[in-house]
Chains A and B, each alone.
Chain A
Amino acid sequence: MRGFIILGLGLVLAVVFSLMIGDVWITPAKLWQGLLTGQGPGSLTLRVIRGPRVATALGAGAALGLAGAIFQTLFRNPLAAPDVMGFNAGAGLAVLLAISFGWALPMPVVAALGGLLAAVLVAALAHKPGHPASGMVLILVGLGFGFTASAIASFISVSLPVSEASEAQRWLTGSLAARNWGHAAEVWILATVLSIALAALLPAFKLIELGNDLATGLGLRVDAARWSIIAVGVLLATAAVAVSGPVPFVALMAAPLGIGLTRAREPGARFAAAALSGALVMVLADLAARAAIPGVQLPIGVMTGILGAPYLLWRLSREMERGEL
């Protein structure tokens, strides 16, 4: 319980600092005044400049944290996250294709289709007849798929007109620049609906954790449940990608951080911890990206990359020690 309080307080503080700090500093007093009166610089910051951005970061971070926790638990591997396994890159590529070819589909739908297609492709590439694919094989195949998708996306973005190219590059890194309340609402609504779906799948999840044979013995239709859970995980990740680009490493880092802090055991509590820490990492990374170099706004993906890459290397070395690699 103490861990949840620390996470919650940390999140509140991160949000307040995020609203205060930027090119122009806004004091908490001014924010409070703006909130109450709807007037002045505080109000402008909340309504237009930083409010929607922070709200989008919260929703996208929570969705990524949940997605990471789902895959890490399902494949019993701390490296199994939608960003490592290429689902985010697949969604990012789909969005870029949609923009450059001018497809008239809503971005979350495009991202979802791209992510689901990526998941199916990774599963098919890792498939060996008669043997269930191990988590590690899926991760390595996904890693390769992710690099390929990113490379194709970069290639397409370079061939765009100059004005759009830099914007596309920025988005592909993962960026929360110029987010409005529409983006925030989009990711919040999707994350809420998918969380409800996940809660409904929780009893099935608790059985799958015990292994496929025991889960079947306890009356679960394992394949159907497994694919439903995977679909919810992919859709959570792509809902975030649709509003913030394929931000790397948040999904990978969030669950171990949140679960480590809270020591949550039950799957429901673990998911809650992962969602909170995902939101926290995202808001802090966005704040750092804005405040690191005065006058320069780095894309958030640069910041999560700086944090996440060493973490990934550390995890890989741990897995090697455990003999998993």
Chain B
Amino acid sequence: MSDPVRYQGDGDLTLRADNLSLGYQDRKVIDRLTLTLPAGRVTSILGPNGCGKSTLLKALARLITPLQGAVTLGGEDVHRKNTRALARLLSILPQAPLAPDGITVADLARRGRAPWRAFLAPWSDTDAKACDDALSAVGMTDLADRPLSELSGGQRQRAWIALVLAQATPLLLLDEPTTWLDLPHQIEVLALLKRRNREAGTTVISVLHDLNLAARFSDHLVLLGRDGLVAEGAPDAVLTAKHLQTAFGLAARIIDDPVTGTPMVVPL
């Protein structure tokens, strides 16, 4: 039995947006964006409301068809690739997934195995291990048999993350995984994503709102403004007073986070 969590292939897993335009014909949300999302790193996409960061993430996960340009994974257009084959490489947790009535945490994690399971195939040891690993990674092993509806907001979000972890893809995309959570739960979610990245080499790309948390947990930041890309790179290169002024129209001073040394935004 192979380790389901670690990517076994040796393909290029760099995700790129190439001259990408998204939105509607009369209203482009993203206009001719070219971007490289480094493989094996934790990347956060930041920007003001309505700048198109969720739209961009959806396009990266082939949920939205571009108006022009392309999203490529290892040089292959994700919108042309077999969607099931892509689902073994890249998973996406949307902002508001729907919970079926009465579903338990373990059931939810099992559905993450869909792209790996052949028609009528029995539940395999690899499937079982991937689910067990996912549940333990989010600290939900003890709550596996509980219905989702009985859980708190933070636990529920961790259960959804267990689903995409069970999918066992080398790339993991998340649309605002910390929204609606209180601060301790936000930190918990981001820490577990970072741990997954460090332990399994998973590329984590998420849309986040909180600049300071993003700086703390990310290797790479992408900052979008209303007129497109403002900056990308390491947190201390991206989170500068000038960039924040451009992206958000926000006057801010940047200081060192006294705990981690990462940049910390203090609005003026």
Instruction: Give residues in A with beta carbon < 8 Å to B.
Output: 76, 130, 200, 203, 206-207, 209-211, 213-214, 216-221, 263, 265-267
B9 within 8 A of A: no
Bound-complex Cα distance A220 to B86 (A) = 10
Asked whether, in the complex, the Cβ of A218 is within 8 Å of the Cβ of B97, the reply is no
* B59-106 interface (Cβ within 8 A of A): 61-63, 83-88, 90-94, 96-104
Question: Which residues in A have their C-beta under 8 angstroms from that of B61?
Answer: 216-217
Residue of A nearest to B160 (CB): A214
How many residues of chain B get a CB closer than 8 Å to chain A's CBs? 35
Cα distance A211–B98 when bound, in Å?
5
Q: Of the candidates A76, A130, A203, A266, which one forms a contact with B117 in the assembled complex, judged by CB atoms under 8 Å apart? A: A203
Q: Of the candidates B58, B88, B99, which one forms a contact with A213 in the assembled complex, judged by CB atoms under 8 Å apart?
A: B58
Chain A proximity mask over B179-212: 1 for CB below 8 Å, otherwise 0: 0000000000000000000000000000000000
Decide: B97 and A210 in contact? CB cutoff 8 A.
yes
For the complex, is B112 an interface residue (Cβ under 8 Å from A)?
A: yes
The 10 closest A-B pairs by CB, nearest first: A219-B87, A219-B84, A219-B115, A217-B92, A213-B94, A211-B98, A209-B100, A265-B102, A218-B114, A214-B97
Q: Is A211 within 8 A of B83, CB to CB? A: no
In the bound complex, do residue A210 and residue B107 qualify as a contact, i.e. CB atoms below 8 Å apart?
A: no
Chain B residues with Cβ below 8 Å from A200 are: 119
Inter-subunit contact A214/B93 (CB<8 Å): yes
Once bound together, how far apart are the Cα atoms of A209 and B92, in whole Å? 16
Contact with A along B102-130 (1 / 0, CB 8 A): 11100100011011010100000000000
CB of B94 within 8 A of CB of A220, answer no
B167 interface residue per 8 A CB criterion: yes
Give the docked Cα–Cα distance between A252 and B2 (Å). 47
Are B100 and A216 within 8 A (Cβ)? no
Could you write out 15 A-B pairs with CB less than 8 Å apart? A203-B117, A206-B100, A210-B111, A211-B96, A213-B63, A214-B93, A214-B97, A216-B63, A217-B87, A218-B111, A218-B114, A219-B83, A219-B84, A220-B84, A265-B107
On whether the beta carbons of A209 and B98 are closer than 8 Å, the reply is yes
Partner of B98, one of A130, A210, A221, A266: A210
Complex contacts, B94 vs chain A, CB 8 Å: 211, 213-214, 217
CB neighbours of B100 from chain A (8 A): 206, 209-210, 267
* Residues of chain A contacted by B114 (CB below 8 angstroms): 203, 206-207, 218-220
Q: Which residues of A contact B99 (CB under 8 A)?
A: 210
> Nearest chain A CB to B70's CB is how many angstroms away?
18
With A217-B87, A265-B101 known as contacts, the answer to whether A206 contacts B62 (CB < 8 A) is no
Q: With a CB–CB cut-off of 8 A, which chain A residues contact B24?
A: 130
B103–A265 CB distance below 8 A = yes
A207 to B87, CA, bound (A): 13
A211 engages B111 (CB within 8 Å): no
- The contact of B86 among A209, A211, A219, A266, by CB within 8 Å, is A219
Given contacts A207-B114, A214-B97, A214-B163, list 4 more A-B pairs with CB under 8 A: A203-B114, A210-B98, A217-B164, A219-B85
**Smallest CB-CB separation from A263: which chain B residue?**
B102
Give chain B nearest CB distance to A203 CB in angstroms: 7
| A214 cross-chain contacts in B, Cβ below 8 A | 92-94, 97-98, 163
Contact A218 B63 (CB under 8 A): no
A213 x B92 contact (CB < 8 A): yes
> In the complex, which of the residues A211, A216, A217, A263 has the most CB atoms of chain B within 10 Å of its own CB atom?
A217
A206 neighbours in B (Cβ, 8 Å): 100, 111, 114
